[in-house]
Amino acid sequence: MSYASQLLDSYPRTFNVDAHVLTATIDALTDCAQACTADADNDMSEPDVADLVKCMRLCMDCADICMTTARVTSRQTESDPNVTRSLLEACIASCRSCGDECERMAMMHAHCQVCEQACRRCEQACMQLLDAMM
């Protein structure tokens, strides 16, 4: 059981979203931030680094946005649904854009294929959390 799940279990107040959906999203966000940080680094070590500039840039954005979205969704106290929702939408846009570029590079580089999977899974998880918040 992830720490996200354990910490939610001992949260002292009630919260208005399905705990399973929430923890699955936090875990997907944390995983995607990690995958994007590592993929940008792997890109930097490739001989064809000049062809991977777009991939690196989108990975750097996606790592930052997923990390921030993980933090905001991990906080239950006095959360503002308008902020959470608009941030989830930004995160979905970022995961989609980064996933598309990683997919384009996946034939050449196995690490881009791994990162694409993390982005696709995170995009799905954020959409499910958005749905669960309605």
Joined tokens for residue 98: 């980064």
Rounded Cα–Cα distance for residues 10 and 130 (Å)? 23
CA distance 115 to 132: 26
Helix, coil or strand: residue 77: coil
**Which structure tokens are listed for 42?**
């792997």
Choose between 56 and 125: whose C-beta lies nearer to a copy of itself: 56
Judged by CB under 8 A, the number of residues near a copy of itself is 64
User: Where in 63-122 is the site for a copy of itself (CB under 8 A)?
Assistant: 63-65, 67-68, 70-72, 74-80, 82-83, 86-87, 89-90, 93-94, 97, 109-111, 114-115, 118
Nearest to 53 by CA among 41, 43, 61, 42: 43
Measured CA to CA, the distance from residue 111 to residue 2 in angstroms comes to 24
Q: Which of residues 2 and 131 has its CB atom nearest to a copy of itself in the complex? A: 2
Nearer Cβ to a copy of itself, position 74 or 128? 74
The amino acid at 16: N
DSSP three-state, residue 134: coil
- Site string (54-73) toward a copy of itself, x via CB under 8 A: x-xxx-xx-xxx-xx-xxx-
Binding site for a copy of itself (CB under 8 A): 2-4, 6-8, 10-13, 26, 30-32, 34-35, 37-39, 41-42, 44-47, 49-50, 53-54, 56-58, 60-61, 63-65, 67-68, 70-72, 74-80, 82-83, 86-87, 89-90, 93-94, 97, 109-111, 114-115, 118
